[in-house]
A and B are shown apart, each in its own frame.
Chain A
Amino acid sequence: MSFTSARRTTDGLPDLTYQPTSSRNVSSRLLTMVAAIFAGIAVLPLILVLGYVLIKGGATISLRLLTELPPPPGLEGGGIANAMIGTLVVTLIAALIAIPVGVGGGIFLAEYSRSGWFAQFIRFGTNVLSGVPSIIAGVFVYGTIVTSRIIFGNSYSALAGGMALAILMLPTVIKTTDEGLKLVPDDLRRAALGIGASRFVMIARITLPTAFTPIATGVVLAIARAAGETAPLIFTALFSPYWSDLLSGDGLFAPIASLSVLIYNFATMPYEFHNELAWSASFVLVSMILVLNLVSRWLGQFASR
């Protein structure tokens, strides 16, 4: 017997009791503690940020805040209503562009060409595009759409902002569609084709409806992310202290306010009231985004049932 280290009790039986002082048990407990501390530190910012936004921003919420325009610099009173509408409008424009393009592209990747060179190339491109910094999307739209005044002679506009956000949403929507469709068992595809369905009917009636929940979950998350983006908007949609004229549609071609740009602009102003408004806007924006996240989670659980 070469394992001389095997401990025995006085009765000569093997000793299997836990040895709290043995070096491996000490180091194991130590590492567990370190991991616990790290996890604590990782969660701390969330609690702090959420706490401040909810308490500091939540305290300022009033009907006036939600219905009025922001005051000019230096003055007080007013709200962030135009920015709330602006965020909805710009995000909606982005979704209207990115969802059809992204879902269509995802369908191509998952249903028509899983391993062709073009599909591999598009998948690679999608990954690369998702790594492009958000500010670059802004620079790109500025360089193509804003400076060229290609949209009916307008430079900064809600549409330009929506396009910049759409570039950021696109990779996420493509990936979720691609992956969602790949989760649909091939059995179902064979079943549809086996009774004489064309590819189009198979996709439209069988695979897309089956993959609806994972795709919707991903799309909602992409919308939530886009709603909070600032960098692509600061020199595409710019900002506006006024209501945007949405009824006639002209508002889409003019600069538009958004919550995120409002936070950026007002946080760096030397006026306390405007700083307060930035907190209020944060409260509204974070609430919107958290609700969207919860919706996507609910969708996901709905699917697993």
Chain B
Amino acid sequence: MAPDQDHLYRLRNRPVAEKLVDVGFKNITVALASVVAVVLFAILIVVFRGSLESMGRYGLEFLVTSNWNPVDDEYGAGAAIYGTLLTSLLSLMIAVPLGVGTAIFITENIIPPGIRNLLGLMVELLAAIPSVVLGLWAIFVMEPFIRPGLELLHTAFHWLPIFSTPPMGPGTIPAVLILVVMILPIITAISRDSLNQVPGKLRQAAYGVGTTRWGALIHVILPAAVSGIVGGVMLALGRAMGETMAVTMIIGNSNNFSLSLLAPGNTIAAMLANQFGEADGSQVSSLMYAAFVLIVLTLGVNVMAQWLVKRLSLKY
């Protein structure tokens, strides 16, 4: 039967064109995949080459001096680097408990599933709101709202260096708060996913030996989910360091170094957003140098996040 039907199957022997399409398609996908690597290396090279001039002039001193003066053509990114680290770490300190707590609240069987899903949906939508809209909100709603509180802080604690200057509107604290709003959804979403992935068996085992809900959570479920949560926190840290628009709009963009959290400050990303468009000459190079520092910082955090997730997930 097979042989007498054979003539009906025109392509039984594959035509050359078909084979060429097959091989060509594979090669196209390889080329397209390589675009990622090319873009990544190109970013590193372009920014590095752009910053060479400034690197040669200031060396590592650039990282610790904070006089940024386009008029005298003197540059040092110390204040911006300090601001980047400070705002991102402070916002992390606030957002981690909030995010993990929220994740527990929406994964544990405390409230009806309908409300749980609604809360989860709202946190995800919060992540979808553009940063520039949050900045707008921070300028016109949040900052005026918290100003009286900040003034109170200043009057009561002005002898503390971190509250030593009167609040003048934009400043480090409003920037930290808006960063909290921005990274909260990441921490919540990743913590929720990690908690959901803990096998039900573990939970049953914990309940089976008579623990309470929180006993099970603290001793069994959170340790099992820790790799994912830590990864999420690191990703959030990277995001916070690179976050640009909302911070630019509310931090005040001052390159004068100040210990006070109530004073205007700066971050690398904010400085880039603010000055890149109008910069020329060695200012561009110095901005590129700052951008390079930002890349190194975020890259380090992200690589560490991936490494931690891999390492910690082996334990469990």
Contact = CB atoms under 8 A, between A and B. Distances in A.
In the complex, are there CB atoms of A and B closer than 8 Å? yes
6 contacts: A28-B213, A39-B119, A52-B137, A122-B34, A278-B136, A285-B133
B99 A42 contact: yes
Contacts of B98: 38, 41-42
Interface of A: 24-25, 27-28, 31-32, 34-39, 41-43, 45-50, 52-53, 100-102, 104-105, 107-109, 111-112, 118-119, 121-122, 124-129, 131-140, 142-144, 167, 170-171, 174, 198-200, 203, 224-225, 227-231, 234-235, 238, 260, 263-264, 267-268, 275, 278-279, 282, 285-286, 289-290, 293
Interface of B: 14, 18-19, 21-22, 25-26, 28-37, 39-40, 42-43, 46-47, 50, 97-99, 101-102, 104-106, 108, 110-111, 119, 122-126, 128-137, 139-141, 181, 184, 188, 212-215, 235, 238-239, 241-245, 248-249, 269, 272-273, 276-277, 287-288, 291, 294-295, 298-299, 301-303, 305-306
A298 to B, nearest CB: 13
Contacts of B245: 230-231, 260, 264
A108 B32 contact: yes
A289 B272 CA distance: 26
Contact of A133 (B40, B124, B134, B243): B243
A101 B29 CA distance: 8
Given A35-B101, A122-B36, A267-B135, A136 B291 contact: yes
Given A39-B119, A121-B37, A170-B39, A131 B29 contact: no
A263 B249 CA distance: 11
Contacts of A231: 131, 244-245, 269, 273
Contacts of B188: 42
Contacts of B119: 39, 43
Contacts of B123: 42-43, 46
A271 to B, nearest CB: 14
A101 B101 contact: no
A35 B110 contact: yes
A287 B132 CA distance: 14
Contacts of A118: 30, 33
B36 A234 contact: no
Given A46-B122, A104-B28, A104-B32, A279 B22 contact: no
Contact of B26 (A47, A101, A112, A138): A112
A35 B295 CA distance: 35
Contact of A136 (B29, B139, B181, B294): B294
Given A140-B43, A228-B130, A134 B101 contact: no
B40 A125 contact: yes
B212 A28 contact: yes
Contacts of A227: 130
A230 B132 contact: yes
A120 to B, nearest CB: 12
Contact of B294 (A121, A133, A137): A133
A203 B19 CA distance: 15
Query: Considering the complex of A and B, which 7 residue pairs feature the smallest CB-CB distances, nearest first?
Result: A133-B242, A228-B130, A38-B101, A104-B32, A131-B302, A108-B29, A105-B33
A224 B125 CA distance: 11
A140 to B, nearest CB: 5
A279 B132 CA distance: 11
A45 B133 contact: no
A120 B238 CA distance: 22
A223 B19 CA distance: 35
Contacts of B235: 131
Nearest to A266: B136
A36 B33 CA distance: 44
B313 to A, nearest CB: 15
B133 A263 contact: yes
B137 A140 contact: no
A123 to B, nearest CB: 9
A230 B101 contact: no
B46 A286 contact: no
A132 B298 contact: yes
Contacts of A104: 28-29, 31-33
Contact of B299 (A35, A52, A128): A128
Given A38-B98, A125-B36, A43 B242 contact: no
Contacts of B21: 198, 200
A83 to B, nearest CB: 12
B303 A45 contact: no
Given A42-B123, A143-B47, A235-B276, A122 B105 contact: no
Contact of B212 (A24, A125, A135, A268): A24
B132 A260 contact: yes
A144 B38 CA distance: 13
A24 B128 contact: no
A60 to B, nearest CB: 13
Contacts of B125: 46, 50, 290, 293
Given A53-B137, A199-B22, A231-B269, A101 B32 contact: yes
B36 A129 contact: yes
A135 B130 contact: no
Given A131-B305, A228-B129, 15 more contacts: A24-B212, A34-B101, A38-B98, A45-B184, A49-B137, A108-B32, A122-B37, A128-B302, A131-B298, A132-B242, A133-B294, A142-B276, A143-B288, A264-B132, A264-B249
Which of B47, B132, B140 is most buried by chain A, counting CB atoms within 10 A of its CB?
B132
Nearest to A289: B128
A119 B291 CA distance: 28
B47 A140 contact: yes
A129 B303 CA distance: 11
